[in-house]
């Protein structure tokens, strides 16, 4: 049995099997995050939003960051947010696998960043498979887009609204559709 902290194992990309002795600590952490999210999503004060988001992520959120709540995060400590980032209403961040949002990123309403997955076979379905998402500088994620686990969105890239991104997006590229495909480069 692995005695390494479950959150360290998740951050390292290790699959967590069903019945893991530390699995309950993931639920406890999610409920602790939810308590702070309730406060954060109930204030209109941008400074209070940044303060509470800093508490959720365990890192300082820069004054240049704007977050329109509600924002939904299941853990928070594996999310890193750069400077001059804009996050619009009603986004969902499942960050157990790690989310990095670099400087100048724009995230439209109802965007989902999903770093977690499960095994395809029924016997493996209760396992949790984490893979990080990285959104590089100046990328723009359009409304209702879904970014799946293990994806990197390139610098200056654009993800069209309602797209599902299941493959890495190169720098200076626009993608769209389900699954997202390259529309143009610039």
Question: Which residues, listed in sequence order, are joined to residue 147 by a DSSP beta bridge?
Answer: 113, 165
The rounded distance, in Å, linking the Cα atoms of 14 and 6 is 9
Give the Cα separation of 61 and 130 in Å (integer): 24
| Active-site hit among 24, 42, 58, 118 | 118
Name the residue among 25, 16, 22 with its Cα closest to residue 3.
Answer: 22
**Half-sphere exposure of residue 26: CA atoms within 13 angstroms, side-chain side:** 23
C-alpha separations of 29 from 24, 73, 102, 154 in Å = 9, 11, 25, 31
* Half-sphere CA count of 33, side-chain side, radius 13 A: 24
Pick from 183, 177, 185, 81: nearest CA to 137: 81
Active site residue 72: no
Sign of torsion, CA 163 165 167 172? positive
Q: Which residues are catalytic?
A: 118
């Amino acid at each position: 049995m692995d005695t390494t902290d479950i959150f360290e194992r998740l951050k390292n990309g290790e699959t967590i099997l069903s019945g893991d002795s530390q699995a309950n600590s993931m639920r406890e952490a999610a409920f602790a995050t939810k308590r702070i999210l309730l406060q954060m999503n109930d204030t209109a004060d941008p400074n209070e939003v940044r303060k509470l988001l800093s508490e959720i992520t365990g890192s300082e959120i820069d004054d240049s960051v704007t977050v329109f709540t509600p924002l939904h995060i299941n853990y928070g400590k594996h999310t890193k947010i750069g400077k001059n980032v804009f996050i619009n209403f009603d986004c969902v961040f499942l960050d157990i696998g790690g989310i990095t949002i670099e400087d100048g990123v724009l995230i439209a309403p109802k965007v989902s960043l999903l770093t977690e997955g499960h095994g395809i076979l029924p016997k493996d379905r209760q396992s949790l498979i984490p893979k990080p998402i990285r959104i590089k500088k100046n990328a723009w994620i359009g409304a209702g887009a879904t970014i799946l686990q293990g994806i990197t969105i390139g610098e200056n890239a654009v993800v069209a609204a309602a797209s599902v991104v299941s493959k890495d997006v190169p720098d200076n590229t626009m993608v769209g559709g389900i699954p997202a495909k390259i529309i143009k480069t610039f």
